[in-house]
Structure 1
Amino acid sequence: MPSLRMFGRDWKVAVDDLAVYAGVAGLWHVVWVIVEIVFLARATAESDQPCIDSEIHLFTWYMSVDIVCFLLYALLLFYTLRGSILDVGARKPAIYILYGISAIYTFLLVINIAASVLKNQFVAPCQDAHRERLALAIFICHWIFWGVWALAALLAFDPFATTSVEQRYAARLWLLKCCSAGASEARPGAAEHIGEICDRAYSTQDEKMESSTPMSQIGALMTLVFTGVDMTTTDYATALILVRNAQRMDREDALAAGVGKPEVAPIPLDMLEDAAHYLPHALSIYGWASNVLNKQDIAAWGCGASCVAPCTGKDVHVGDNMLFSSKNMTIQGVKVMTKSNPETDLLYMSWDNEIQGLLPYYICIDRPRREVIISVRGSLSAADWMTDLLVLPVEVDANFLGCDPSSMVAPEDVKIETTASRRRLISAHKGMLGCAKTIAADLRRHKVLDAVLKSDQHAREALKHDIYKQDCSDHQLVVVGHSLGAGVAALLALHLRSVYPGTRCWAYAPPGGLMSPELSAAMRDYCTSVVCGRDLVPRLSLSNMEILARQMIECSARCKQPKVRVILHPGKKWKRDDLFKPEAEMSADARKTLEAYMRNSGSSHCAGGKVIEARDFLTPGKLLYYEANDSDIADALVFTPQFVDNKEFAKNGMLISTFAVDMHMPWMYQMAVDKALDDAHRGLPSTRVEVAKLEGTCYAPEAAAQTTQQAETDIEAAGGRPS
């Protein structure tokens, strides 16, 4: 950090990214110096042959190049290991060393070309077979040296003279999606123009926002979060490792101080059973992934031609390749995981997948519970990831809500429209709201719900299949989903309640930055969010991203160790004194970067932009949290279900750990709900590990009493305590 700048270009790597490359390249050149010494020794012993002199001269040049390269790479390694991530000044001499390496490799290209031209003149007449093979190996390997160096330079090269930080984020997303990120003018010194970036990316003019592509919007968002700090990929990885160690150290310090958590009230057994019942529906829509993750036979085709037509809405025959490779496995996943019969229970299934558009989903009858279930798939494609990152707040209009949005806003939350502030909008995550609206339109178009829930004769005649003649008018509608699907399911349930008043929702691992607090509170009676342990996604809101960015910059500024030592030991439990230095000992470069970040961070640059709405976003409805103990072994995890307050959960930041991503996986949620339900059935209290409140955990000491009281209220609303 920052990106390397050579030949008037900002490259895609930083100087301290080159430590491993310098070490490997230097060692490689040393090996070939030894080989060339052996070769020249044998050649000198045969100096009476006519072509030996030219051969010795050529390979002497090769050996000289290797010796110089070794010395330069040794110096480069020395300087890349100097200082921590933000100590840029300690590594400045490395730039001049890289210029020297570029010059020597240019000279190597000349030698390689000369050797290619003269090879036949000195190899054929006077070499024995062994030395000829050795000479050929030296010759080929030096071409490889040059080719590897040229390839590395090409991969790190930025063709533009100056590229803004915003453009770099958009370019990385372009590589992920393999499509254009849209035109965005280059500008130098992005850190000095954060206000301009925010104004352009989050303008209140709708036409201006809609004119930019998803990648450009996400790039602008990441620039806002990191306020123009130029970080490479390895900088992010190292900073996250540092934050994880800092959080672990804080937890250990708090444990040593004896700080604990309040007691939690038990969760009603029927609620735990509901959580375990609806989860397979939320996971089965993943299709082939759900079969693999649950170790099912992916070659078992459990659905015949009789169910294919209603499921797809088309006359698709069983021999269709797509049906066998993915669609039929999705149907098989639904059959195995939910114990339903696709021929009579699976009403409709869509496989369409678009950015901010249709997601795969299905409609299924749950006969034992007399319910119709809509399951929306979570993230499984690049298009889904783009949708996840489109966090720009969008107002939820009255047509989608089925009521006046202002009725959900408390009077004290309404702001007077001025140039400095604007009224509080009922808004939601742009990408997921777009998906919810598209699925709602798809439901209206196919009229499957009208046919089975309202016994609409016109809808049944239009669908032309006996499966839709079933009378489910006494069934309740339930919408479920996991991850991205959970966010879309919650917004979809919000819309469907205006048509089907009894609609309920179970959202597993919903994104933290989903909707306005007013919407979340309005859904408490019919929507339950389920969060497992240290799952990163439910904590992933714009405000928490800003908190995490600040922690990353602060930890990087106080880091003692070089980047390569941190990133090569990701699981090491560092001691505080070995990893972090006191604030007073920070280098001038680190202090300058930190002060610039703190000066530009926060809402000062975007106080009037739409993005400020997203800082308050929450998970939907009431929050059922399966707290995990501190074990790093999956089988040793113990889960304690409890109600927590959405706002308290949202304000405490993200937990960075080895389980932060694993906890989001479907099998971890299956493990959590199954273990907690099994403990409840056996009458066993879940084991607690007393962990202190820190930024990043679930409870704040000052909010403990309020949280416990809220949990009691939630239990009474859910039907009281079990006897």
Structure 2
Amino acid sequence: MPALVAFNRRWAIGSDDFALSGVVPLLIRLVWFIVVAVIFTEHIASHNHFEKCNAERITYTYFSGFFTIMILTIIFEILIIYVSSRGTIIDTHPRRHIPRLLYSRLFLYIFEILLSILGIVTVSRNWNTDKLNCDNDVMSLMLAVVVLSWSGLLVNLITIFIKFDPLGHIREKEKRKLHKRLRRKSSVRSVFNVETPKALWERRCRTMCCNENAGEAFADVSSIFAQVFEEHDVVASDILAGLTLIRKEHKLLKMQGCMPKSSQSHFPKLTKPSQLVTDVLPRAVHYLQYAISSYGYLFYLFDNIACGICKLCRYKDCICCCYEDENCAGYNTAVVKETNGLTDDEIVYITYQNKIYEIPFFVAVDHKHKSIVISLRGTLSVEDALTDANADSALMIVDNQRMYAHKGILIVSQNVKIILDREKIIEKAYEIAESNDYELVVTGHSLGGGAAAILTILLKPDWPDIKCFSFACPGGLVSSVAVQYSRSFITTVILGSDLISRMSLESLEDIKGQLIKAVMETDQSKCSLLSQGCLSGMCGTDTYDTYGYDEMMLTVNDNQNLECQPNATSSSYQHLYDCDDNTIDETTGLTAVDEGDNGEGDNREGDNDEEDGDHAKNRQLFLPGQILWIKKISEGIERNSCCGKRQYVATWAKHEDFSSILVKPSMVTDHVPYNLMNAIHLIINDNRESHQQV
């Protein structure tokens, strides 16, 4: 940071990225050089094999040139690694000679290419399958060297292609003008009017997803991507180093009972549910199985590696091979039956249609639990990822209340509702159930969890007794009015530090600000930061992070007046809970600033946001309904231990608990549905054992 400027253009790599990335190629080249030198001196030169070669001079010239270029290349790579390791992320002056070293290295590449061409010509002219014009050992060694040389050149060419910045031709003066325009934007929610980055990201989206009919979706997603990723002159390694620094900050704040500061200052205020957590968990884990089964056979085989295929092949649906059906509908339907114990008659409707704003889902009758289940699949394709990325807010009106929701997921939910209404699927399900006492339950995980929550809100006027279990849904999903509206029929279940459930446009902007601030202030080199990050993340868990932390957080929940002591490290952060004296309306449970979002009795249709007159804060998006938080605690684990037994506790949480992204390795693994299911099972089993002991 900033990015490397060489050959009069910007590259997607920093001048300090060669310190680590150049070590492996250097070691490979050293081993390669030593092996070839040993073979050449011991088995060829010492036995005068060149005298048997018709092209003795050319062959000797080739190997002499090879050793010379290898020695020079090793020297230059050592110099590049040394210079690249100097300075800090921001202080690039000690690395100012990196472009010149790269220019010199380029000349060696040119000579290496010419030498490789000479090697190919020599081998082709002197290699005869019947009779070798040169000694077999000489030609074999030369062929191996040529193949390895071209392989190395191909790897370097691929690396250059990856690090190529399509916008790198913009001059530094034009780049500064672009940054000034970007800084005038108050948030990533603003309309991005710089056409070049937007057009680039739109082209990338079209390349990843070959659907030319989704032009509006591509435009929306590319606008968000362009502003999020083009606002600062950073490269990927800067982000990784910054996340390492932020993780250190977060660990220190946890020990103080604090959380990173959020740009959101007002949150939905809901009363704590009267229902016990232990009563909710058995139902939650049951419908989580439905949500997982909607992912299909790949997820099922991942969890049942040994005998998954054998179990699925008991169903006649599996006779249909994937080669005949690109969606593997037979296997996917068999997973739904096997996981949930369903028969053909109990599956009312199932679809595997997957496009932008369209996700697979199924409707089934669960006689055992007397419920009609609508299960929506989570993110499993590029189209789903683009739907997730369209995270701006869009208007929806339910029961004459104006609400906002995640635009991409709202469109998905509306499309599912259209199918349900057009095909009368819910009505057919109740006909199969032969009872109106069956409960209508909507469930899903990740993208499916978000779509399930919004779909439940849309169906609420027609089906008043509907319920929803939303697992690990995106954090920026619905506005405060929708949260208040759904508090009695939507339960959101989150595991630990799940990244997706804490992700919103506001939290992304917060973490981006923290990252830039941490990188600007650190005096450590990127090499040392990335090394620390790799070592601390090898275990893939945060055992030493959570030791004693959850007990501390439970204490903090009961003492909201506790303030963090400001210091040099945490001066930019605040306490986990805001202590502002906001007036709360007794009837709605919302703060005074959120109350204006209610708009009850306003029947205006359309989504012309400019005419709404709502403030940006009233369009902030949160998790839906009541939140059930599965938190980690440790049992007998040393702080620096990589292994140990996990224990979990379930508690009702507040929406402000998920306003900030917590940087730790488990923020990714906590989103895996099987990890969530295992955690809930552990809590249920522990409760059962404790009751038996009593």
TM range, smaller chain: 0.7 to 0.9
State the partner residue of 1:667: 674
- Give the Å deviation of 1:445: 1.4
Q: 1:8 to 1:369 in 2, by over 3 A?
A: same
Greater shift in the superposed pair: 93-102 or 6-15: 6-15
Q: 1:544 to 1:322 in 2, by over 3 A?
A: farther
Deviations 1:17-75 (A, max 9, x none): 33344334444444565545984797599699697555544433333222221221111
Return the alpha-carbon distance in structure 1 between the equivalents of residues 176 and 281 of structure 2.
Answer: 55
State the partner residue of 1:348: 349
Return the alpha-carbon distance in structure 1 between the equivalents of residues 412 and 669 of structure 2.
Answer: 26
1:103 maps onto 2:107 in alignment: yes
Listed as ranges, the matches of 1:405-420 within 5 Å are 405-406=401-402
State the partner residue of 1:234: 237
1:285 maps onto 2:281 in alignment: no
Return the alpha-carbon distance in structure 2 between the equivalents of residues 671 and 192 of structure 1.
Answer: 49
Return the alpha-carbon distance in structure 2 between the equivalents of residues 431 and 164 of structure 1.
Answer: 36
User: Would you say the 8 A contact 1:544–1:650 is kept in 2?
Assistant: no
SS at match of 1:511: coil
User: Would you say the 8 A contact 2:50–2:60 is kept in 1?
Assistant: no
State the partner residue of 1:436: 413
Listed as ranges, the matches of 1:296-335 within 5 Å are 297-301=308-312, 326-335=328-337
Greater shift in the superposed pair: 228-237 or 342-351: 228-237
State the partner residue of 1:570: 533
Q: Which amino acid aligns with 1:626?
A: I
Deviations 1:230-273 (A, max 9, x none): 33333333322332233224334669xxxxxxx99993542233
- Give the Å deviation of 1:290: 4.3
1:60 maps onto 2:64 in alignment: yes
Q: Which amino acid aligns with 1:91?
A: R
Return the alpha-carbon distance in structure 2 between the equivalents of residues 277 and 21 of structure 1.
Answer: 47
Return the alpha-carbon distance in structure 1 between the equivalents of residues 48 and 320 of structure 2.
Answer: 76
Structure 2: unaligned runs, 5 residues or longer: 203-212, 259-271, 538-543, 545-566, 570-608
Return the alpha-carbon distance in structure 2 between the equivalents of residues 614 and 484 of structure 1.
Answer: 23
Q: 1:142 to 1:227 in 2, by over 3 A?
A: closer
User: Would you say the 8 A contact 1:198–1:224 is kept in 2?
Assistant: no
Paired residues, number: 581
State the partner residue of 1:193: 181
Deviations 1:365-390 (A, max 9, x none): 12233321111111111211111111
SS at match of 2:411: helix
User: Would you say the 8 A contact 1:226–1:546 is kept in 2?
Assistant: no
- Give the Å deviation of 1:215: 4.6
Deviations 1:93-148 (A, max 9, x none): 11110011112211333333345556688999996544454444445544444444
1:509 to 472, 494, 498: 472
SS at match of 1:570: helix
State the partner residue of 1:88: 92
Listed as ranges, the matches of 1:540-559 within 5 Å are 540-559=503-522
1:525 to 488, 504, 518: 488
1:360 maps onto 2:360 in alignment: yes
State the partner residue of 1:250: 253
Return the alpha-carbon distance in structure 1 between the equivalents of residues 360 and 339 of structure 2.
Answer: 17
Q: 1:187 to 1:299 in 2, by over 3 A?
A: farther
SS at match of 1:359: coil
State the partner residue of 1:4: 4
- Give the Å deviation of 1:528: 1.0
User: Would you say the 8 A contact 1:436–1:488 is kept in 2?
Assistant: yes
Return the alpha-carbon distance in structure 2 between the equivalents of residues 269 and 46 of structure 1.
Answer: 83
1:621 maps onto 2:625 in alignment: yes
User: Would you say the 8 A contact 2:88–2:523 is kept in 1?
Assistant: yes
User: Would you say the 8 A contact 1:79–1:94 is kept in 2?
Assistant: yes
TM-score, length-scaled by structure 1: 0.70
Structure 1: unaligned runs, 5 residues or longer: 166-185, 256-262, 309-315, 407-425, 454-467, 576-581, 585-606, 686-722
Listed as ranges, the matches of 1:451-470 within 5 Å are 451-453=428-430, 468=431, 470=433
User: Would you say the 8 A contact 2:469–2:492 is kept in 1?
Assistant: yes
Deviations 1:570-610 (A, max 9, x none): 353599xxxxxx989xxxxxxxxxxxxxxxxxxxxxx9999
- Give the Å deviation of 1:515: 0.7
Return the alpha-carbon distance in structure 1 between the equivalents of residues 153 and 323 of structure 2.
Answer: 46
Return the alpha-carbon distance in structure 1 between the equivalents of residues 445 and 429 of structure 2.
Answer: 25
Cα root mean square deviation, aligned:
4.3
State the partner residue of 1:270: 279
Return the alpha-carbon distance in structure 2 between the equivalents of residues 204 and 52 of structure 1.
Answer: 65
- Give the Å deviation of 1:664: 1.2
- Give the Å deviation of 1:517: 0.9
Q: Which amino acid aligns with 2:407?
A: K
Between the two proteins, what is the percent identity of the paired residues? 23
SS at match of 2:311: coil
Return the alpha-carbon distance in structure 2 between the equivalents of residues 565 and 123 of structure 1.
Answer: 50
User: Would you say the 8 A contact 1:361–1:375 is kept in 2?
Assistant: yes
Return the alpha-carbon distance in structure 2 between the equivalents of residues 557 and 320 of structure 1.
Answer: 52
State the partner residue of 1:338: 340
